[in-house]
Amino acid sequence: MFGFLVCHPDKPVESGHNAGMTDFISFKSLKRPSKPNTCLVAPADHCLAAEPDFSPPHLNMSGRGLFSNLNEIIAAERQFGKLQADAEKLRLKFVATTGLMRFKDDVDIEVIPLEDGKATFAIYSRSRVGYSDMGANQKRVRKLIHELGIK
C-alpha cells in the first residue's frame, strides 16, 4: 500500500516500491565529509557515525502526516526538483538548485514515527561541489522546518 504523492506539474517524480530506493542514504551509517558544505539534522541517537548540527523537534502529527506535509512543501518550492519518494518507508529525496550560481545540492529526508502519534525527522542537505556553501544548506533545512510551522 502506498500513500499519496503530491507533485509539481513541471517536476519529474519517482514513487513506488523500488523508485530510487537505492539512492536513499542510510542515516545510521552516514559519514560527513570534512568540508563545511553540509547540514545534518537528526535525533541524537539516529546517526551512529555522524554528529548532527542540531536535533529536530517532536511534532504533534503522525509519521504519514509529516511525510505528506513535507511532500507538499517540497513540491511547491521552485528551486526543488527531481523528487523521489517512498511513502511506505517515509523517505524523500530531492535536488535543490541554488539561486545565483545554480549549484545542485542533494537533500535526503527520513520521517521517524514516534509514540503517541507524534513524529520527527532526519534531514541531510549537502553540496555536490565546492568547499564552503556559505551556509546555504543550513538555511535550506531551517526553511523547511519553518515551513512545517516550527519557529
Q: Each residue of 21-41: pLDDT tens digit? A: 458 999 999 999 999 999 999
Residue 6 within a domain: no
- Cβ atoms of residues 20 and 109 within 8 Å: no
Query: Residues 6-26: what's their mean pLDDT?
Result: 49
State yes or no: pLDDT of 64 exceeds 50.
Answer: yes
Interacting residues of 10 by C-beta distance below 8 A, sequence separation 6+: none
Q: Classify each residue of 11-40 as buried b or exposed e, where b means 16 or more C-beta atoms within 10 Å of its C-beta.
A: bebbbeeeebeeebeebeebebeeeebbbb
Residue 28 within a domain: no
The pTM assigned to this predicted structure is: 0.83
- Cβ atoms of residues 55 and 44 within 8 Å: yes
Residue 54 within a domain: yes
Q: What is the pLDDT of residue 140?
A: 95
Element (H, E) at 122: strand 119-127
CA gyration radius for the chain?
15
Residue 57 within a domain: yes
How many domains does the chain contain in total?
A: 1
- Cβ atoms of residues 10 and 18 within 8 Å: no
> Domain containing 123: what range?
39-147
Residue 117 within a domain: yes
Residue 87 within a domain: yes
